[in-house]
Structure 1
């Protein structure tokens, strides 16, 4: 019973890792996620519209979440960023990572405690500056 389970988990991790390599490392930027647009802005107060605009982050190569491939697996609805559905939405990651993984977000990004993120970040480690940028973006998303 244990051997098939180990084979399944190993195969799944290898598949996710290869998918990440193919779609985010070898051929990055071939399909850019679109930024969600709200056509009902006229019905919002100007204060709400300003608050939402302040949270929107442009999807471009200078966006750390796009540049490092986070949006290949994750969306960040708090920043109106659509992304992959493989991983969870990162809107509340700034608030929830410590409770779920036992360490603050910045430490988790240095040494992830989940198997999938360990393999992803292990193959493409973040610099201290990139970690700071990701933490700031996710802090903004959680506000």
Structure 2
């Protein structure tokens, strides 16, 4: 019985490792899809100067928020397609989280981020709690992501 368990664990680890490597090599290993401010300037040049300024400000906000989601570890498991943020595939995409969390978890997203009702997120956030300011920034970001879709 022990030999079967050992073989299972080794096979599982090898499978995960090979899957991870394949994902990195085949298509998931590219850098974040967030446009840099320089790219935004060339891609969004319009005849209207105000439209260009608004787009640049939005892009800079997304880049700044990317660092918060990265530093807090959110992108380790989640992506946010609504903001063109590529992350891990373990957790669900967070583009519609602003809209869906209350129905799924029974509390508004800001309360969920302070006291999650899911076992996985309880462990993650419990070990790295968010400040009120960080919760507000993440909620605003997820609201923006849901509006972009």
TM-score interval for Structure 1 and Structure 2 normalised by the shorter chain:
0.5 to 0.7
The equivalent position to 1:107 in structure 2, one of 84, 107, 111, is 111
Q: Are 1:79 and 1:141, in contact at CA under 8 Å, matched by a contact in 2?
A: yes
> With structure 2 as the length reference, what TM-score do the two structures score?
0.61
Instruction: Say which SS state the counterpart of residue 112 (structure 1) adopts.
Output: coil
Match of 1:71 in 2: 75
Instruction: Say which SS state the counterpart of residue 138 (structure 1) adopts.
Output: helix
Q: Are 1:106 and 1:131, in contact at CA under 8 Å, matched by a contact in 2?
A: yes
Q: How many residue pairs align between the two structures?
A: 112
Q: Are 2:34 and 2:63, in contact at CA under 8 Å, matched by a contact in 1?
A: no
> With structure 1 as the length reference, what TM-score do the two structures score?
0.63
Q: 1:74 offset after TM fit, Å? A: 0.2
Q: Unaligned 5+ residue runs, structure 2?
A: 1-28, 36-42
Instruction: Say which SS state the counterpart of residue 75 (structure 1) adopts.
Output: coil
**CA distance in 1: counterparts of 2:122 and 2:82, whole angstroms:** 25
Q: 1:129 offset after TM fit, Å? A: 0.6
The equivalent position to 1:140 in structure 2, one of 136, 144, 148, is 144
Query: What is the alpha-carbon root mean square deviation over aligned residues?
Result: 3.5
Instruction: Say which SS state the counterpart of residue 97 (structure 1) adopts.
Output: helix
Match of 2:126 in 1: 122
Moved >4 Å (runs of 4+): none
Q: 1:138 offset after TM fit, Å? A: 0.4
Q: Which has the higher helix share?
A: 2
Q: Are 1:59 and 1:81, in contact at CA under 8 Å, matched by a contact in 2?
A: no
The equivalent position to 1:91 in structure 2, one of 89, 95, 98, is 95
Larger gyration radius, structure 1 or structure 2: 2
